A and B are shown apart, each in its own frame.
Chain A
Amino acid sequence: MWRRTALSLGRRQLQGGPRGHANQVPPASFRMSHKRPARRILGVEKNIWLEFTEMAAKYKSVDLGQGFPNFSPPDFVRQAFSDVVSGEDCLMHQYTRAFGHPTLVKILAKLYGQLLGQSIDPFGDILVTVGAYEALFTAFQALVDEGDEVIIIEPFFDCYEPMVKMAGGHCVFVPLRPKGTPDKPALSSGEWALDPDELASKFTERTKAIVLNTPHNPLGKVFKREELQVIAELCVKHDVLCISDEVYEWIVFDGNEHIKIASLPGMWAQTVTIGSAGKTFSATGWKEAVARGFQRELDVLGRPESYLFQLPRQLQEKRNRLVECLLSVGMRPIIPEGGYFLIVDISALNVELPEPADEEEPYDYRFAKWLIKTKGMATIPVSAFYSLGHRKDFASYIRLCYVKEDSTLEAAEKILKEWHLTK
């Protein structure tokens, strides 16, 4: 009996705390049951990707959900990979330098040194990890302490929140809002913006870092220099670190310019900038980079034969194609300025959805599930990119990925057009 009491006390203690954050040591009997996980992973068990990728696979849908290209990576990178794998040097299959393979970090230092106008030490200023995911994880684990506050801009790539929580930090959210009116709705991701006063109000003594994602997932917003300046000034004023997730840095449309916040005055010393080989070379499953690919790109940087010159142009055409189709069937896409995704306002569609299994489930989640099951098209509900408290306010958008080969986009168009005809 006393053991049950001790267990339930422990559970209450875990759920307690003013921010729903476990901050008391549970009794030994509770802890010692070997089935209990560590407290640091409580509350971070759910994951949107696990849920929706399973559904997309189960219903064999046209997958515009998870963000990966289904066309090939460029030949020169595949060739480089093949040369390394089958080459004579068997040490290529063994351990390399812990913080990054020497050839890779040297080329990254050169490329980003050029882009930032800054001398970068390949051995002191760069870390290579398993994807941008692990770079983010490492940054939070290394820099965020229990009780630190981290500002996150909504909507946000979903992993930021559980990572901050695992580091014992507290997330402070500030939303991008569409600057439109009912007569003139915001039609581009550029028209979603932060309110500078609202942003300033989020900085406190306990703010350790702000997470920036530009180009932005899911909106496709490419933050302008003036917007980054506002963030930078607050960072410098409050001495706050900036973790800048720039995985889509090469995928920018309509002549927009990707600006690195680390290049703004005072920011180099307090910014961690994150990039991705998977997104750069359209090989998300590699989670590792090939130095030769980067060397080649550095040699032809800015020229028509550069993959990084061609890729955004190809993707812009795909974006335009999907946007056109969505408009033609009466849907309202928010035109992204960069990245892999666009979001679509589904509120005006007035689709009758089946009764929800779970009252708490936001509308866009229910819509996205209905879309997979009845129309065979996979998308991602945008409220997944909001904190729990704000999900209900932003539950009328779905996210589509257009970085897909033409046949996939054609199949999606067909589904949308047929649906439109039946309405």
Chain B
Amino acid sequence: MKIPLQTFLYCFPACRPLKSWLAKRLYHISSSTMASYKHKNAKRIEGIDKNIWIQFTSVAADPSIVNLGQGFPDIPPPDYIKEALAKAASVDRLNQYTRSFGHPSLVKALAQLYGKVCNREIDPQKEILVSTGAYGCLFSTIQGLIEEGDEVIIIEPFYDCYVPMIKMAGAHPVLIPLTLKRTKDDSISSAHWVLDPEELASKFSSRTKAIIINNPNNPLGKVFTKEELQEIADLCIKHDTLCISDEVYEWLVYNGRKHTKIGMLSGMWDRTITIGSAGKTFGVTGWKLGWAIGPEHLMKHLQTVHQNALYTCPTPLQEAVAQGIWRELSLLNQPECYFNCLAKLLEEKRDQMARFVLAAGMKPIIPEGGYFMVIDVSGLNQDLSHMQDDEPYDYKFVQWMTKEKKLAAIPVSAFTGEKSKNIFEKYIRFCFIKQDSTLQAAEEILKNWNKISH
């Protein structure tokens, strides 16, 4: 309204008194519009205020609900790591600020561990950043390296935070789904979900800045084979793109599978940021510590974001995690190594869950890694027509199941873009890093469910 009026005024100079009166009115209108503008959020957070965890975790916090939703253990973390934290907090100097990019003993331990795993020397000062969980590392990576207008390829289903982080950076997510390939096998595993190489290649354009991979994948539990990673790597090199590799579940790999780091493939170290997590490694998700490892010329940009966003992470937590890593390093590949113990324990829990889920008439996708299981619930034919229409089926199913069956899960279409929701809306996600009593309680609910249905 303002512009046409102004144009009118400038075209008719004889209307000066009117012009003056109108100008004052326009100023008042624009002032009040400005006034409301000032209390509004910045544009960068438009459209990203909804969050699956906020939506589903508060409901599941009710202690009468068996919570297989959000991915955290209800089994205790190892004693030695808690003791390390108590000990660290008793040392005065360790209660004060430490080095911005990571506590010295922690970055040294990480450099040793990943140096061994990657078979290369890693500079603890220049090639590592410690941040607030893998989340903090992802945020620093994206803010530091992704420009407005860039495209970033994301593989569906994806951990939900990737898309809002990319949008906050003013960039465009380009999605490509894993799809179920035909198989004669009785049971479906995450290995049966694959990328179509031609479709993947078609997603790379001159605007592609990076691809994000999550290996092992959340929610599917897919552990990418070396050949699959090579296909992605070849495309990254061909198109000179970055690779952001979220490997928080790297130690949780089953059935004798091997976790391969894409950063170790030829030509990839210089263009890959690899992200790990203390929370997932030691079962202490509430500590919110993670790390990013990569070449100096990229890491320095993550460090710039970090120094301006939160500057440094809690010192006693970093010291405790350092102690944990030194311990595991000395036991690496041995049975007593916590990484191996935890993987063995979780493989059993996975198998236990698969059995009782099958018995209830649901179809699990057996994960090769991670601590989630994706389950096809369509076989139950649960009628949810009484619930509101505008949500995908799995959202409605999870809400209904939480309320009626007191069993919480996460809908898998939360991990997909709009176009793929109809493919994934028959799946829900269960977390199996839970103590025996929790899994037994879930099993009971599913047993009784079956009885009521028939």
Q: Contact residues of A with B, CB < 8 Å?
A: 25, 28, 31-41, 44-45, 47, 49-50, 53, 66, 68-73, 78, 81-82, 85-86, 90-98, 129-131, 133-134, 137, 141-146, 148, 159, 162-163, 166-167, 205, 208, 239-241, 270, 282-288
Contact = CB atoms under 8 A, between A and B. Distances in A.
Interface stretch (B34-42, B225-233, B399-407, B441-449): B34-42
Nearest to A78: B89
A34 B39 contact: no
B89 A81 contact: yes
A50 B100 contact: yes
Of A41, A145, A285, the most chain B CB neighbours within 10 A belong to A285
A69 B45 contact: no
Given A41-B304, A93-B77, A239 B313 contact: no
Given A25-B149, A94-B285, A285-B97, A70 B92 contact: yes
Contact of B285 (A69, A95, A148): A95
A68 B96 contact: yes
A28 B207 CA distance: 7
Contacts of A32: 206-207, 209, 240
Contact of A285 (B73, B143, B314): B314
B311 A241 contact: no
Given A49-B307, A82-B89, A143-B41, 17 more contacts: A31-B147, A34-B210, A41-B143, A50-B100, A50-B307, A72-B92, A90-B77, A93-B82, A94-B73, A94-B285, A98-B54, A129-B310, A131-B311, A134-B309, A145-B44, A166-B305, A208-B38
B170 to A, nearest CB: 9
Interface in B105-159: 132, 136, 143-150
B127 to A, nearest CB: 15
Size category of the B interface is 35 or more
A239 B93 contact: no
Contacts of A38: 143-147, 169, 301
Given A159-B311, A285-B97, A85 B286 contact: no
9 contacts: A35-B298, A37-B144, A40-B169, A41-B143, A142-B42, A270-B39, A283-B95, A286-B95, A286-B314
A26 to B, nearest CB: 8
A100 B268 CA distance: 39
Interface of B: 34-35, 38-39, 41-45, 51, 53-54, 57-58, 70, 72-77, 82-83, 85-86, 89-90, 92-100, 132, 136, 143-150, 168-169, 206-207, 209-210, 240-242, 271, 283-288, 297-298, 300-301, 304-305, 307-316
Main secondary structure of the interface of A (DSSP, over half): loop
A71 B92 contact: yes
Contacts of A98: 51, 53-54, 57
Which among B150, B309, B316 has the highest number of chain A CB atoms within 10 Å?
B309
B304 to A, nearest CB: 5
Contacts of A287: 310, 312-314
Given A81-B89, A94-B284, A133-B311, A37 B304 contact: yes
A162 B308 contact: yes
B95 A41 contact: no
Nearest to A34: B242
A284 B143 contact: no
